[in-house]
Amino acid sequence: MIPNWLLKRSSLTPSRTALSFCGKQWTFQELKQEADLIARKLRMNGLEEGDRIALLGPSNPDMVFVIHGCLLAGLEIVMLNSRLSTKEILWQLGDANASLLIVEDELLRQTKIQDVPMITFSSLQSSEQRDFTISKMWNGSRTITIMYTSGTTGFPKGVRQTAGNHTSSALSSVLNLGLTEEDSWLCTMPLFHISGFSILVRSVIYGMEVKLYEKFDTKTIVDEIRNGTATRMSVVATSLRRILEEFEETETVAHPTFRTMLAGGGPVPDDFLRRAESRKLPVLQTYGMTETSSQTATLSSEDALRKSGSAGKPLFFNQIKIRDTEQPGELGEVLIAGPHVTPGYIGHAVDRDPLEDGWLPTGDIGYFDDEGYLFIVDRRSDLIISGGENIYPAEVENALLSHPLVKEAGVCGQSHPVWGSVPVAFIVLSGDVAEEELDMHCGELLARYKIPKAYYFVDQLPRNASNKLLRRELKEWASLK
Amino acid sequence: MIPNWLLKRSSLTPSRTALSFCGKQWTFQELKQEADLIARKLRMNGLEEGDRIALLGPSNPDMVFVIHGCLLAGLEIVMLNSRLSTKEILWQLGDANASLLIVEDELLRQTKIQDVPMITFSSLQSSEQRDFTISKMWNGSRTITIMYTSGTTGFPKGVRQTAGNHTSSALSSVLNLGLTEEDSWLCTMPLFHISGFSILVRSVIYGMEVKLYEKFDTKTIVDEIRNGTATRMSVVATSLRRILEEFEETETVAHPTFRTMLAGGGPVPDDFLRRAESRKLPVLQTYGMTETSSQTATLSSEDALRKSGSAGKPLFFNQIKIRDTEQPGELGEVLIAGPHVTPGYIGHAVDRDPLEDGWLPTGDIGYFDDEGYLFIVDRRSDLIISGGENIYPAEVENALLSHPLVKEAGVCGQSHPVWGSVPVAFIVLSGDVAEEELDMHCGELLARYKIPKAYYFVDQLPRNASNKLLRRELKEWASLK
């Protein structure tokens, strides 16, 4: 059994700051009051313990209140990515079979979602309340969140993240990073991603302030780091680059109380790490994913520079092995086990076991060096990581192939100075189509960041004898463009 | 599953200091090597995974190596209190049915234990080794330690403390106290007590140095605190008093990096807390016991002064309630639940469930104030806490009654300026016996600290109509002496 995070935390340290946003602050006691109000309004809207809702909102305090309100009410939350296209959202809503969509008013206007049971943030706010008894303890296997992530098939799967998963993730992290009462975590990652959501979880488990930002504004963020008003931050390579550039332009360095820049969501160039060092930014590379409720391995601060480029060692409660290898240095698929690993999927993939013999196959390729440090050499061969967002080529290909004049499509990543990588498409047409038309077509089906940044029209795609698309060759083609 | 603590820790941070003693230091890598050697020697001595051994040793590095060696070898350790009489030790050995007694050479000479299967530290050191594969993961329900504690019957019961108990205790503690790489914990508590053993557990789970002392030398300890060479310490009221006196005599204060003085094992006088404050000693009162693998509730640093006298709030994963009460302020028996609570006993008490409806009844009397802070008003009515050691009157009474000329005996605590409380006996004799003879008689049966410090010969003991000893009245008698 695991204590109801916010209930326990607000009883332990009610007057500590839990959340700050645009100069406003909420203590844990206030956060609990806000969440409690939401929970009772959710109950009034017919939602009962164990029900599943979907949530579409921005990274702001209202969203935090709704998230904690849902947890107090005992609901499972399908965290919808607000960058997705309306079609993608509708597909996930259908697959998740959520009782209700809770959607922020502005995002509803933008996405024009209709014909699903829903309630807006503002309607929820003006709802009546129904009293109920909040569970003090949670079963560790209780599903807290569901986040969709795609695989090689191009069909997103809803990944369950339980109370036990999230809790052990936060505990493993604290044993690596430590904790003081002065800690506060800058959150510029979207809350619908595990990178952002896990900061909310750490906050209530640790009794730590979250400094929430809806948008990533480089100058403001750098001010926080420079002035010592925050001590931790999670970044992807793209945001780290912006932060570095701002520090370099202003010729300043991080405040000595700033303790950890947790860099994940894909590879961080070595050059960034060196530049960060000279700006006194303690960058720790980390390796994690939706299926592991955030971090699986992270560098220790004492190794940050000596083992630059490594994702560190598997955190205290976690295990990693490299498939079919025995010696350090041997490359293979990264396999993960531990209390932070998802127990499974929902929806169409509900019967699929994410594990093989108790281990989560990641598709990523890596090795351990002779001191036991993990190096990730290549993400699963086809994955494109663009500004920290994962793009699965098969999903983009499916979208392209649904156009009547697209005969074949092959999508891969092309390196990009800002986003690390962007998707590009090689296309075999069966008639005349303009690039703009493909853009519009994809725009209706896909999140903006998934739309190919270039279309290369070719006579045929590289395939092997059994007609399988040769993705490696495709990548070579892209690198030559 | 829980990772093998030392194996995991030595892989994560091999070169951090794990242990220091008399100016010598061992890294986690070195600690693991020492423990590994012991484990292989234990295997050579016929011990297999799951076997139970008893351990009798002082608080020194050899003892730490043997403890971790036993854990690597997969053994259950009965932690014997070296202050017990030989008879008491033999009783526990019999009750625990341990395969082997591992005993430090000097303690063997002192206790003159014989006729039990045993090996001394020195014989173990010179043993041959047998290779085996160390389990990387432990089942959470694996028994790590067994510590004997007495109840109202006067018969000590062997309390199981599992890997899950110890681990969750360390995790709950870190969420309260925090953790930095600079932390080191002064250990002057005996390792056979949960207060000392839990420091070893925190060390391997956190990657934190233990500064071990075999004896409590006030000047040396105060030097560590004053010079900032240690950041944490566990104390009982008696040792806190000595520390305060030394600080006061030398007119010095604690170093600002000294962060926590965890004060448990019985009540701490308010006066001590005020004096500690003026010496810049951050004292946090805590409440725990053998059955809860150390801390259950502890004050937060922000509440240390405001809530002086309170044992704080139940730590993150722990629950406390007061039997049959609904309102703050109502007194009742303290009941405890959580992953840190023992699953049960061994030996003669193996079939006894320590829990009632999932809650551990402590016999202690307390209440919550209206802000949820726990106050312990009275230890279980008959318990005598003397210098942090628990003394159960029934056990002392049994020893006295085994003398042929003692007809009736009633034992209770009498307040004492150094030890807080000491046991005294009210005795009805059936013939002439000198106090010295009773002292010798008790000395053969009981640990020295349990021997009554005074004998009061009376005509009859205070009893109620059904002839039950009125312990409250006995205490009143003692207070008038």
Inter-chain residue contact B180 with A180, CB threshold 8 Å: yes
Inter-chain residue contact B316 with A205, CB threshold 8 Å: yes
Inter-chain residue contact B316 with A174, CB threshold 8 Å: no
Inter-chain residue contact A317 with B2, CB threshold 8 Å: yes
Question: Which of A169, A316, A355, A374 best tests the B interface by mutation, with the highest count of B CBs <10 A?
Answer: A316
SS3 B271: helix
Q: What is the pLDDT of residue A273?
A: 86
Other CB atoms within a 10 A radius of the CB of residue B279 amount to 20
Nearest-by-CA chain A residue for B297: A12
* Residues in chain A within 8 Å Cβ distance of B137: 319
Asked if A164 reaches chain B (Cβ–Cβ under 8 Å), the answer is no
- A288 DSSP β-pair partners: A295
Nearest to A316 among B1, B8, B302 (CB): B8
Alpha-carbon span A219 to A193, nearest angstrom? 23
Which CATH code for domain B172-378?
Answer: 3.40.50.12780
Alpha-carbon span A224 to A184, nearest angstrom? 11
In percent, how much of chain B has pLDDT > 90? Answer: 79
Q: What ipTM was predicted for this assembly?
A: 0.88
* Residues in chain A within 8 Å Cβ distance of B296: none
Q: What is the pLDDT of residue A3?
A: 98
Tokens for A83? 């960058």
* Residues in chain A within 8 Å Cβ distance of B205: 175, 316
CATH 3.40.50.12780 domain locations along chain B: 172-378
Alpha-carbon span A43 to B32, nearest angstrom? 53
Task: Calculate mean pLDDT across residues A399-418.
Answer: 90
Q: What is the pLDDT of residue B381?
A: 61
Q: Looking at beta carbons, which pairs linking B303-308 to residues 24 or more positions away fall under 8 Å?
A: B303/B373, B305/B273, B305/B277, B307/B371, B307/B373, B308/B270, B308/B273, B308/B274
Alpha-carbon distance values, A412 to A382, A383, A421, B3, B143 (Å) = 7, 8, 9, 39, 52
Which CATH code for domain A173-378?
Answer: 3.40.50.12780
Question: CA B333: distance to chain centroid?
Answer: 21
Question: CA A62: distance to chain centroid?
Answer: 20
Alpha-carbon span B199 to B201, nearest angstrom? 5
Query: Has residue A152 got a pLDDT over 60?
Result: no
Asked if A181 reaches chain B (Cβ–Cβ under 8 Å), the answer is yes
CB A333 within 8 A of CB A363: yes
Nearest to A313 among B1, B11, B175 (CB): B11
Q: Of A401-405, B250-254, B472-476, give the lowest mean pLDDT range.
A: B472-476
* Residues in chain A within 8 Å Cβ distance of B16: 302
Task: Calculate mean pLDDT across residues B350-359.
Answer: 94
The CATH T-level fold of domain A384-480 is GMP Synthetase; Chain A, domain 3 (3.30.300)
SS3 B299: coil
Task: Calculate mean pLDDT across residues A150-161.
Answer: 80
Q: What is the pLDDT of residue B414?
A: 92
* Residues in chain A within 8 Å Cβ distance of B175: 174, 179, 205-207
Question: Which of B175, B181, B184, B310 best tests the A interface by mutation, with the highest count of A CBs <10 A?
Answer: B175
Alpha-carbon distance values, A225 to A187, A229, A259, A418, B181 (Å) = 12, 7, 9, 22, 21
pLDDT tens profile A236-270: 888 998 999 999 999 999 999 999 999 987 778 77
* Residues in chain A within 8 Å Cβ distance of B179: 174-175, 178-179
* Residues in chain B within 8 Å Cβ distance of A319: 3, 136-137
Inter-chain residue contact B3 with A207, CB threshold 8 Å: no
SS3 B29: helix
Q: How confident is the model at residue B389 (pLDDT cuts 50, 70, 90)?
A: confident
Tokens for B269? 């006088």
Asked if A140 reaches chain B (Cβ–Cβ under 8 Å), the answer is no
Q: What average pLDDT does chain B have?
A: 93
Q: How confident is the model at residue B459 (pLDDT cuts 50, 70, 90)?
A: very high
Inter-chain residue contact A175 with B8, CB threshold 8 Å: no
Question: Which of A175, A202, A315, A370 best tests the B interface by mutation, with the highest count of B CBs <10 A?
Answer: A175
Inter-chain residue contact A175 with B174, CB threshold 8 Å: yes
Inter-chain residue contact B317 with A180, CB threshold 8 Å: no
Q: What is the pLDDT of residue B267?
A: 73
Inter-chain residue contact B313 with A171, CB threshold 8 Å: no
Host H or E run for residue B152: none
Q: What is the pLDDT of residue A279?
A: 96
Query: Has residue A403 got a pLDDT over 70?
Result: yes
Q: What average pLDDT does chain A have?
A: 93
Inter-chain residue contact B302 with A180, CB threshold 8 Å: no
Q: Is B251 left (phi over 0), alpha (psi -120 to 50) or beta?
A: left
Inter-chain residue contact B319 with A206, CB threshold 8 Å: no
Q: How confident is the model at residue B152 (pLDDT cuts 50, 70, 90)?
A: low
Nearest-by-CA chain A residue for B206: A175
Q: How confident is the model at residue A153 (pLDDT cuts 50, 70, 90)?
A: low
Asked if A328 reaches chain B (Cβ–Cβ under 8 Å), the answer is no
Name every residue whose Cβ is closer than 8 Å to that of residue B276 and which is 6 or more positions away in sequence: B240, B244, B261, B282, B283
Other CB atoms within a 10 A radius of the CB of residue A150 amount to 18
pLDDT tens profile A280-300: 999 999 999 999 999 999 998
Task: Calculate mean pLDDT across residues B192-216.
Answer: 97
CATH 3.40.50.12780 domain locations along chain A: 173-378
Closest Cα in chain B, distance from residue A48 (Å): 25
Question: Which of A12, A169, A341 best tests the B interface by mutation, with the highest count of B CBs <10 A?
Answer: A12
Query: Has residue A147 got a pLDDT over 90?
Result: yes
Question: Which of A171, A182, A370, A373 best tests the B interface by mutation, with the highest count of B CBs <10 A?
Answer: A171
Q: What is the pLDDT of residue B471?
A: 81
CB B203 within 8 A of CB B19: yes
Task: Answer with the residue of higher pLDDT: A380 or A323.
Answer: A323
Query: Has residue B154 got a pLDDT over 70?
Result: no
Asked if A27 reaches chain B (Cβ–Cβ under 8 Å), the answer is no
Q: Of A264, A279, A258, A275, whose CA–CA distance to A310 is shortest?
A: A264
Q: How confident is the model at residue A393 (pLDDT cuts 50, 70, 90)?
A: confident
* Residues in chain A within 8 Å Cβ distance of B316: 3, 8-9, 12, 205
Question: CA B293: distance to chain centroid?
Answer: 9
* Residues in chain A within 8 Å Cβ distance of B359: none
Query: Has residue B247 got a pLDDT over 90?
Result: yes
Query: Has residue A97 got a pLDDT over 90?
Result: yes
Asked if B458 reaches chain A (Cβ–Cβ under 8 Å), the answer is no
Q: Of A323, A324, A281, whose CA–CA distance to A301 is shortest?
A: A281
Inter-chain residue contact B180 with A175, CB threshold 8 Å: no
Alpha-carbon distance values, A451 to A478, B64, B257 (Å) = 16, 60, 54
pLDDT tens profile B30-81: 999 999 999 999 999 999 999 999 999 999 999 999 999 999 999 999 999 9
Task: Answer with the residue of higher pLDDT: A450 or B395.
Answer: A450
Torsion of CA A398, A400, A403, A407, to 10 degrees: -90
Task: Calculate mean pLDDT across residues B297-305.
Answer: 86
Nearest-by-CA chain B residue for A175: B206
Asked if B217 reaches chain A (Cβ–Cβ under 8 Å), the answer is no
Alpha-carbon span A93 to B331, nearest angstrom? 52
Alpha-carbon span A365 to A356, nearest angstrom? 17
Task: Calculate mean pLDDT across residues B90-119.
Answer: 95
**Domain A2-138: CATH class, spelled out:** alpha beta
Q: How confident is the model at residue A204 (pLDDT cuts 50, 70, 90)?
A: very high
Bridge-based pairing state of the strands A76-79 and A52-56 = parallel
pLDDT tens profile B325-343: 999 999 899 999 999 999 9
* Residues in chain B within 8 Å Cβ distance of A297: none
Q: What is the pLDDT of residue B292?
A: 97
CATH 3.30.300.30 domain locations along chain A: 384-480
Alpha-carbon distance values, A382 to A163, A363, A379, A395 (Å) = 31, 9, 8, 11
Q: What is the pLDDT of residue B305?
A: 79
Task: Calculate mean pLDDT across residues A366-389.
Answer: 86
Q: How confident is the model at residue B422 (pLDDT cuts 50, 70, 90)?
A: very high
Tokens for A149? 């992530």
Inter-chain residue contact B178 with A175, CB threshold 8 Å: no
Q: How confident is the model at residue B268 (pLDDT cuts 50, 70, 90)?
A: confident
Asked if A321 reaches chain B (Cβ–Cβ under 8 Å), the answer is no
